[in-house]
Amino acid sequence: MKALLFLFLPLVMVGCTKNKLAKFNTRIVGSWQLVEVNTFGLGSSHIVFNGGNFTFNSDNTASYYDRNNNTYYGSWYIDAYMYTDDEGDSETDFILSVDVKDGSKMKFDRFEIPRFGNSNRFKAKVRNGLNVVTYVFERR
């Protein structure tokens, strides 16, 4: 019986992760304004996106309009990474990758999305060594 439980448990965990991933993908589609950028910690902050508006389309294409009305086009995707600590506890991180270009200028970053606050707002983090940049997005 225990053997069946250990075989079944990983399938349940993968199914739950896929379910959450599908929800994140669905919820992020639309237009978002970057309303806040906060830094915390030691060292310098590497801020790629500093204000502006994003559009994440259901076909994984993206556009970004910065504060100076420069337009960048590219792609986005969300992926799930499962980590297990030394004590056997598992945690899943969801990472939003945004890769957009304006001619020869490229902007790319990978945001950790711990959770959506609600359907109209979410926070995302980028860790740079001992420094964390938190971005706050609101639906437009």
Cβ pair 86, 100 in contact under 8 A: no
Tokens 């950028």: give the residue. Answer: 37
pLDDT at 133: 93
- Tell me the Ramachandran region of residue 23: left when phi exceeds 0, alpha when psi lies from -120 to 50, beta otherwise: alpha
The span from the CA of 69 to the CA of 96, in Å, is 23
Instruction: Domain of residue 25: give its range.
Output: 2-139
pLDDT at 10: 45
Q: Which residues pair with 138 in a beta bridge?
A: 33, 121
Give Cα separations from 15 to 12, 21, 80, 114 (angstroms): 5, 10, 12, 19
pTM, full prediction: 0.79
* Domain count across the chain: 1
- The more confidently predicted of residues 62 and 129 is 62
Cβ pair 66, 53 in contact under 8 A: no
H-state helical runs in the chain: 2-28
Helix, coil or strand: residue 7: helix
DSSP 8-state assignment for residue 70 = -
pLDDT band of residue 128 (cuts 50, 70, 90) is confident
Span 63-110, pLDDT tens digits = 999 999 899 999 999 998 888 888 988 888 889 999 999 987 899 999
